[in-house]
């Protein structure tokens, strides 16, 4: 595709995306030079999924995930990002099941934020933002990978070889029209990335405090946390986390090893969770591959169940088990992924087996 054709395509695609979000805006394709300041990306995932939950009927689903985003460079230090995604209003899933008698499917505003790069080391974001916190080894112990919180965040990382980084946030969880007791989340992380020859060690910790959570309805359905008879939280969650992460190479293969721990300081019991795992290889080119394994145990009130991993034990807290993943590059920007969860729901008393198989075809553009 020549430059003019590519420029016209980018202009048309951006116009379609922005037209959905800003229906009254007018964008002319007469002058395509403005597309030089735009970066677009997207992906489509087709998933086959089977779930075997003890005490429930086995379930098989075909699901898709579609995402389309654009970032506009307003100035050298200021950018605006908009992203649409399939799915429902669920904050931790952009999956759309194929059902409903061939019904049309909806797109939702997945991200919408402004980012200001104040210096080479400091960036500020505001709006519906990507998760500002570091998750070692892509751990979903506290945050599901699809979660895009809302509010203001600052991210700092030194430019030295021995890196110091810090992430701070003020997030709006729930604005309540009937009271001034709105729910907010204050969060912060501090970490160190230490070079070790051909490897690097990442050590850090975090603090997350929910305000005006106790006595108010749970965020969505019952995700395992302790609730009163009216379905309200019995505590404000205050989490402390610690993590360590090693990245190196085994021969020519990238290798990662991590451990992640969290405790809820407001709970008297059932207050801790942990996850550890490793990864070998990386899916990048055709026929490249990656193997991942993790083990997780998360007690009932360790974290807010509505925001943790939505695939492990079917979502929420109060469970333990294994996850095995394998990825294979099929072609440029095309990959195959297989994930298997071997879990148990319920850490106290009688538990139930939970097995889940997911086979994904992913196309990026």
| 3-22+36-364 under CATH 2.40.160.10, yes or no | yes
Quick one: pLDDT at residue 34?
62
Quick one: pLDDT at residue 27?
45
Quick one: pLDDT at residue 11?
47
In SS3 terms, the chain reads as CCHHHHHHHHHHHHHHHHHHHCCCCCCCCCCHHHHHHEEEEEEEEEEEEEEEECCCCCEEEEEEEEEEEEEEECCCCEEEEEEEECCCCCCCCCCEECCCCCCCCCCEEEEEEEEEECCCCEEEEEEECCCCCCCHHHCCCCCCCCCCCEEEEEEEECCCCCEEEEEEEEEEEECCCCCCCCEEEEEEEEEEEEEECCEEEEEEEEEEEEECCCCCECCCCCCCCCECCCCEECCCCEEEEEEEEEEEEECCEEEEEEEEEEEECCCCCCCEEEEEEEEEECCCCCCCEEEEEEEEEECCCCCCCCCCCCCHHHCCCCEEEEEEEEEEEEECCEEEEEEEEEEEECCCCCCEEEEEEEEEEEEEC
Quick one: pLDDT at residue 178?
86
Q: What is the pLDDT along the chain (365 residues), one digit of tens a residue?
A: 444 444 444 444 444 454 444 444 444 444 445 667 899 999 999 999 999 999 999 999 999 999 999 999 999 999 999 999 999 999 999 999 999 999 999 999 999 999 999 999 999 999 999 999 999 999 999 999 999 999 999 999 999 999 999 999 999 999 998 888 999 999 999 999 999 988 999 999 999 999 999 999 999 888 999 999 999 999 999 999 999 999 999 999 999 999 999 999 999 999 999 999 999 999 999 999 999 999 999 999 999 999 999 999 999 999 999 999 999 999 999 999 999 999 999 998 889 999 999 999 999 99
pLDDT tens column, 181-200: 999 999 999 999 999 988 99
Quick one: pLDDT at residue 37?
86
Quick one: pLDDT at residue 222?
82
């Amino acid at each position: 595709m020549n430059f003019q054709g590519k420029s016209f395509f980018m202009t048309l695609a951006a116009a379609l995306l922005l037209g959905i979000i800003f229906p009254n805006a007018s964008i002319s394709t007469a002058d395509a030079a403005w597309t030089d300041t735009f970066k677009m990306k997207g992906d489509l995932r087709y998933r086959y999924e089977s779930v075997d939950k003890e005490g429930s009927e086995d379930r098989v689903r075909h699901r898709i995930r579609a995402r389309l985003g654009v970032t506009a460079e307003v100035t050298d230090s200021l950018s605006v990002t908009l992203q649409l995604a399939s799915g429902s209003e669920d904050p931790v899933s952009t999956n759309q099941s194929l059902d409903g008698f061939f019904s049309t499917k909806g797109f939702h505003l997945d991200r919408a934020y402004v980012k200001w790069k104040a210096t080479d080391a400091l960036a500020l974001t505001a709006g519906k933002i990507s998760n500002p916190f570091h998750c070692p080894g892509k751990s979903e112990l506290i945050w599901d990978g699809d979660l895009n919180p809302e509010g203001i965040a600052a991210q700092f990382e030194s430019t030295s070889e021995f890196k110091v980084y810090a992430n701070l946030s003020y997030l709006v969880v729930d604005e309540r029209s009937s009271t001034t007791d709105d729910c907010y989340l204050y969060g912060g992380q501090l970490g160190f990335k230490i070079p070790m020859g051909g490897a690097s060690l990442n050590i850090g910790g975090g603090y997350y405090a929910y305000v005006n959570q106790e006595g108010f309805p749970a965020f969505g359905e019952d995700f395992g946390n302790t609730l009163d008879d009216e379905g309200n939280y019995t505590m404000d969650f205050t989490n402390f986390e610690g993590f360590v992460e090693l990245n190196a190479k085994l021969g020519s293969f990238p290798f990662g090893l991590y451990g992640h721990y969290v405790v809820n300081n407001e709970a008297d019991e059932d207050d801790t969770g942990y996850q550890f795992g490793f990864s070998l290889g990386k899916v990048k080119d055709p026929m490249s591959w990656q193997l991942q394994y993790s083990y997780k145990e998360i007690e009932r009130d360790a974290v807010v169940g509505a925001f943790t991993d939505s695939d492990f034990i079917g979502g929420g807290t109060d469970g333990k088990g294994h996850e095995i993943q394998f990825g294979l590059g099929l072609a440029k920007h095309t990959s195959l992924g297989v994930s298997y969860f071997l879990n148990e729901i319920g850490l106290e008393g009688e538990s139930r087996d939970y097995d889940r198989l997911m086979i994904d075809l992913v196309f990026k553009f």
